[in-house]
Amino acid sequence: MPKICFLYTDTNGLHKTNDNVSTKNLYKFARLIAIHYMIGEYNGTFKNSITKDLILKPKTIYFDKVAQSFHKITMDDAENKGIDNNKAITEFKNDLTDVKIIISHSLPFHIKAIQVECFRTAIDINFGKYILIDMSSFGHSYDYPKFVDMLVKYNINKKLSQLEQYRDLFFILYNNYSKTIKSVKETKEECDFID
């Protein structure tokens, strides 16, 4: 079975651009405060093999108070519990070795935050080799599907860690999606006029 990585990041704010990350525009992107990820295999149930919360030691970074109110990581926490950004990105890259699928809510935001740190550390992570799944596309509506709203809609236990919530939400959404695909295939087989 392919390995799956659920991830999210904590940053010092929001990105100020939707452009691709490059050395010319690094200053327009939020800085990475922490990477949280869970890696495991799915064979009817998810079997977790790695769970990590990597807080980065601050280097020339401003901790935005509004962002801090969400992620609850203070500058002192990062100074005391953080690890060097080079070590964190290397560890994350090594843990992705056998991963085939990366899943998150608002995945492009998290990928860009990690890519900025990859540029800063000169460590290459080729996200193009993974199947990237953004859970917000499963719950698509004209209103932006907020993660907290999806937790309520699908009755996800709020006492779980955020990674566990991502995992449980994804498998509910995936199950609904796969039932729809199966139904479409069965309908297609019944109808001669559908190619």
Q: What's the 3-state SS for 138-193?
A: CCCCCCCCCHHHHHHHCCCCCCCCHHHHHHHHHHHHHHHHHHHHHHHHHHHHHCCC
In a domain, 174, yes or no: yes
Cα angle 134, 185, 168; round to 5 = 35
Distance CA 73, CA 61 (A): 13
Mind listing the pLDDT tens digit for each residue in 36-85? 999 999 888 889 999 999 988 877 676 667 666 666 777 778 778 889 99
What percentage of the chain exceeds 90 in pLDDT?
A: 35
Which of 13, 52, 40, 51 is closest to 29 using CA atoms?
13
Domain that holds residue 130: 3-190
Stretch 133-159: mean pLDDT, rounded? Answer: 75
In a domain, 195, yes or no: no
In a domain, 67, yes or no: yes
What is the number of structural domains in the chain? Answer: 1
Q: Which residue has the higher pLDDT, 15 or 102?
A: 102
CATH code of 89's domain: 3.30.420.10
In a domain, 116, yes or no: yes
